[in-house]
């Protein structure tokens, strides 16, 4: 898998990130930032030290054409922020990201749908916002509606009467018709029911087979293994690993395991203390507490391995 | 800057789409639809005519032989003001209402304030039939000077100022929501500060108004702009034509507002994107 990656880089990267960093002001300073920006400008901020939070800093990577890159990491480590910067909807405070080619952002499927307009009007509106021409939408309209499984009689009803599933399906159906060479996907694969999900996977497979580049943020290992041939592991706002998806996931799982161990130890210590305290005060509080924790424990092991999915993923990766 | 302008130009179709969507939604939800665009200023005109015209006799500031008289004066001022007031009231939310689109789609962010102003422009054009009815009914006068000089100037300046204000308020309001409340108060103030209900000359010639207040009054670019909207029908009457100072402050003020608005917008863009 590493060899395909290196070969692709020779063609020149499609997405190039250099020293990316983004900072957020922490609580109170938000308000002050307005004044500072007028007085000092947004590049240099004399008293910025200490109060800033950098969800992401010093991240550099290149993504070649045809790559499917999975981004893994804990919640709140800046995965979505990174995706937003690639999409160009967030401007980095440091560094630069250059993207060659049009981007189809699947960041939020319902975005842009206006509740008061009908499904048809919304498809035309959002399609055009994404850069489709009216003719293109005309040609694909049937297909979009068909894919979304929206019954023809509902397509001219205002979207506010749709179920949330219908909206999301219509959104996915529309965006999957975009021919942009780069796709950014943020946790949206978990759309709809089982049957629709399968259709989504097939649509994405089809798109990937077309030499398209995809960046995928997900917590679903099955999805990641299925589509991606490369993994970026983000830890504490920095790029910890840039390898194939299996190693990235392995590293992520390793870290998660360590963390769970630590938490267990902490919990155990806490419990011991609580028990000791409880024993001191009253003896009957103890047994109910231990009963509850026993149920929680086996959970982290359950989603760690899934042999069927792993095999699937490797095939999918090679095909792409 | 130049590339940015180009990017906005490339997305002009998107602006058109957003404008069309806003209008569609607006007129779809009400039974009377377009009629509201006319009814609201008409009702206002009626009230103001009664209170300011009949009771307070603001029409004494009007020249005797002005064609169309005080009522045309009122209508010609209130119609564009309704549009401008609507811009002011929607400006602070121009970015916030589109936060979903802004955070998921890569388009030059300027197009959202532009779409807001664009929608208002279309609505302004739609008020013209009402205005024309009044002009014909009251015997208003069409003049070359009014039609070819004052009208285009008034429209360009109104929407230039409007766009500047929208860019400014839309971005600042994302970071400081107080702006929305403040704008509501300011809109009221500006309404009286822009001499919509009475000829500006009444203020400028009043003995009881101190000199500095008169200068300040004339320096308000909106005063000059709305005077222009009426000079279209009353060209040649000196009391109703903007003074050189008012004219200058209207032109300079509008250009300045657009520059300040755009500068602020670009300056705050990064933080706005984070906050949305």
For every one of its 320 residues, what pLDDT tens digit does chain A have, with 9 covering 90 and above? 444 444 444 457 888 888 888 887 765 555 555 555 565 554 444 444 556 778 888 888 888 888 889 888 888 788 888 888 888 888 888 889 888 888 887 777 777 788 888 888 888 888 888 888 889 899 999 988 888 888 888 888 888 888 888 888 888 888 888 888 888 888 766 667 888 888 888 888 888 888 888 888 888 888 888 888 888 888 888 888 888 888 888 888 888 899 899 999 999 999 888 888 888 887 665 555 444 444 444 444 444 444 444 334 333 333 33
Residue A4: its pLDDT value, please? 43
Domain ranges of chain B: 2-275
Residue B54: its pLDDT value, please? 87
Q: A196-235: buried (b, 16+ CB within 10 Å) or exposed (e) per residue?
A: beebbbebbeebbeeebbbbbbbeebbbbbbbbbbbbbbb
Compute the 3-state secondary structure of chain A and give helix, strand, coil in percent, each to the nearest 5.
50, 20, 30
Distance (Å, rounded) from C-alpha A67 to C-alpha A210? 11
User: With contacts defined as CB-CB under 8 Å, which chain A residues touch B28?
Assistant: 116
Distance from the Cα of A117 to chain B's closest Cα (Å) equals 7
Residue A173: its pLDDT value, please? 87
Identify which of A129, A126, A197 has the alpha carbon closest to the alpha carbon of residue A159.
A126
Check B105 against A105: CB less than 8 A apart: yes
Distance (Å, rounded) from C-alpha B226 to C-alpha B78? 9
CA dihedral B73, B79, B85, B90 (to 10 degrees): -170
B111 and A CB contact within 8 Å: no
**pLDDT digits over B219-234, tens only?**
999 999 999 999 999 8
DSSP 8-state assignment for residue A11: T
Residue A31: its pLDDT value, please? 54
Residue from A129, A157, A168 whose CB has the most chain B CBs within 10 Å, to mutate: A129
Check A117 against B25: CB less than 8 A apart: yes
Q: Are B91 and B170 in contact (CB under 8 A)?
A: yes
Rg (CA), chain B: 19
Task: Name residue, tokens 């008034």.
Answer: B154
Here the tokens at position A142 are 């049937």
Tell me how far the alpha carbon of residue B1 is from its chain's centroid: 27
User: With contacts defined as CB-CB under 8 Å, which chain A residues touch B270?
Assistant: 42, 91, 93
Check B271 against A111: CB less than 8 A apart: no
User: With contacts defined as CB-CB under 8 Å, which chain A residues touch B176?
Assistant: 31, 34
Residues shown for chain A: 320
- Hey, how many other C-beta atoms are within 10 angstroms of the C-beta on B213? 13
Q: Which residue of A has its CA nearest to B177?
A: A31
A101 and B CB contact within 8 Å: no
In sequence order, which residues have a C-beta less than 8 Å from that of residue A122 and are 6 or more positions away? A112, A113, A114, A159, A170
Residue B122: its pLDDT value, please? 93
**pLDDT digits over B76-130, tens only?**
999 999 999 999 999 999 999 888 888 888 888 999 999 999 999 999 998 898 8
Residue B116: its pLDDT value, please? 95
User: With contacts defined as CB-CB under 8 Å, which chain B residues touch A111?
Assistant: 100-101, 103-105
User: With contacts defined as CB-CB under 8 Å, which chain B residues touch A37?
Assistant: 267-268, 271
A48 and B CB contact within 8 Å: no
Report the run of H or E that residue A300 belongs to, with start and end.
Answer: helix A299-302
Predicted TM-score (pTM) of the model is: 0.81
SS (H, E, C) chain B: CHHHHHHHHHCHHHHHHHHHHHHHHHHHHCCCCHHHHHHHHHHHHHHHHHHHHHHCCHHHHCCCCCCCHHHHHHHHHHHHHHHHHHHHHHHHHCCHHHHHHHHHCCCCCCHHHHHHHHHHHHHHHHHHHHHHHHHHHHCCCCCHHHHHHHHHHHHHHHHHHHHHHHHHHHHHHHHCCHHHHHHHHHHHHHHHHCCCCCCHHHHHCCCCCCHHHHHHHHHCHHHHHHHHHHHHHHCCCHHHCCCHHHHHHHHHHHHHHHHHHHHHHHHHHHHHHHHC
A52 DSSP β-pair partners: A25
Check A31 against B175: CB less than 8 A apart: yes
Report the run of H or E that residue A57 belongs to, with start and end.
Answer: strand A52-64
Residue A134: its pLDDT value, please? 86
User: With contacts defined as CB-CB under 8 Å, which chain A residues touch B103?
Assistant: 84, 89-90, 107-108, 111
Residue A40: its pLDDT value, please? 53
Distance from the Cα of B98 to chain A's closest Cα (Å) equals 8
Q: Which among B21, B105, B172 has CB closest to A89?
A: B105
Distance from the Cα of B164 to chain A's closest Cα (Å) equals 17
Distance (Å, rounded) from C-alpha A212 to C-alpha A103? 11
Decide: helix, strand or coil at residue A253: helix
Here the tokens at position A298 are 């086996």
A167 and B CB contact within 8 Å: no
Check A91 against B270: CB less than 8 A apart: yes
Distance (Å, rounded) from C-alpha A201 to C-alpha A227? 9
Which residues of chain B fall short of a pLDDT of 50? none
Distance from the Cα of B180 to chain A's closest Cα (Å) equals 16
Distance (Å, rounded) from C-alpha A229 to C-alpha A214? 10
Query: Phi first, then psi: what are they for A202, rounded to 5°?
Result: -65, -40
User: With contacts defined as CB-CB under 8 Å, which chain B residues touch A98?
Assistant: none
Q: Let me know the angle formed at the C-alpha of A64 by A63 and A66, rounded to the nearest 5 degrees.
A: 115
Here the tokens at position A250 are 């392995």
């Amino acid at each position: 898998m590493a060899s395909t990656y290196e070969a692709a880089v020779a063609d020149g990267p499609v997405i190039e990130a250099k020293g990316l960093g983004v900072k957020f002001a922490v609580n109170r300073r938000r308000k002050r930032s307005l004044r500072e920006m007028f007085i000092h400008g947004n590049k240099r901020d004399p008293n910025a030290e200490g109060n800033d939070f950098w969800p992401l800093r010093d991240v550099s990577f290149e993504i070649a054409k045809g790559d499917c890159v999975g981004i893994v990491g804990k919640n709140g480590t800046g995965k979505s922020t990174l995706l937003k910067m690639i999409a160009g909807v967030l401007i980095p405070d440091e560094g630069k990201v250059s993207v060659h080619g049009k981007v189809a952002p699947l960041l939020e499927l319902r975005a842009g749908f206006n509740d008061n307009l009908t499904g048809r009007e919304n498809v035309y509106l959002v399609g055009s916002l994404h850069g489709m021409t009216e003719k293109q939408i005309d040609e694909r309209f049937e297909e979009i509606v068909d894919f979304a499984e929206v019954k023809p009689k509902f397509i001219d009803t205002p979207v506010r009467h749709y179920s949330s599933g219908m909206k999301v399906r219509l959104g996915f159906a529309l965006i999957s018709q975009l021919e942009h060479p780069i796709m950014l996907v943020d946790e949206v694969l978990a759309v709809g029911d089982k049957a629709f999900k399968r259709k989504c996977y097939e649509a994405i497979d089809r798109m990937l087979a077309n030499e398209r580049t995809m960046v995928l943020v997900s917590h679903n290992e099955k999805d990641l293994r299925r589509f991606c041939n490369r993994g970026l592991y983000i830890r504490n706002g920095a790029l910890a690993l840039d390898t194939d998806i299996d190693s990235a996931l392995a590293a992520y799982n390793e870290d998660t395991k360590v963390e769970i161990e630590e938490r267990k130890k902490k919990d155990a210590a806490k419990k011991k203390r609580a028990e000791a305290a409880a024993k001191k005060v009253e003896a009957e509080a103890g047994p109910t507490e231990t009963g509850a924790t026993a149920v929680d424990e086996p959970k982290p092991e359950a989603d760690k391995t899934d042999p069927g999915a792993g095999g699937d993923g490797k095939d999918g990766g090679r095909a792409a | 800057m130049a590339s940015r302008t180009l990017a906005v130009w490339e997305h002009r179709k998107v602006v058109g789409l957003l404008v069309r969507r806003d209008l569609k939604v607006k007129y779809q939800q009400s039974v009377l639809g377009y009629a509201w665009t006319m009814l609201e200023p008409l009702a206002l005109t009626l009230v103001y005519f009664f209170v300011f015209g009949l009771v307070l006799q603001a029409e004494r500031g009007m020249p005797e032989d002005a064609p169309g008289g005080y009522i045309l004066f009122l209508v010609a001022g209130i119609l564009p003001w309704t549009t401008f007031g609507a811009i002011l009231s929607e400006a602070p939310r121009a970015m916030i209402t589109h936060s979903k689109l802004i955070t998921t789609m890569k388009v030059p962010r300027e197009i959202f304030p532009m779409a807001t102003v664009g929608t208002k422009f279309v609505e302004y054009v739609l008020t013209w039939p009402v205005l024309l009815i009044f002009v014909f009914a009251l015997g208003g006068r069409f003049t070359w000077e009014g039609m070819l000089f004052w009208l285009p100037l008034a429209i360009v300046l109104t929407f230039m100022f409007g766009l500047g204000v929208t860019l400014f308020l839309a971005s600042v309001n994302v970071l400081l929501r107080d702006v929305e409340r403040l704008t509501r108060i300011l809109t009221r103030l500006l309404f009286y500060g822009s001499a919509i209900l009475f000829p500006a000359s009444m203020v400028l010639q009043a003995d009881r108004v101190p000199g500095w207040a008169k200068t300040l009054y004339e320096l308000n670019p909106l005063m000059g702009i709305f005077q222009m909207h009426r000079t279209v029908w009353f060209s040649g009457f000196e009391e109703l034509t903007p003074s050189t100072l008012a004219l200058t402050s209207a032109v300079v003020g509008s250009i300045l507002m657009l520059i300040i608005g755009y500068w602020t917008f670009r300056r705050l863009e990064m933080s706005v994107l984070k906050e949305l």
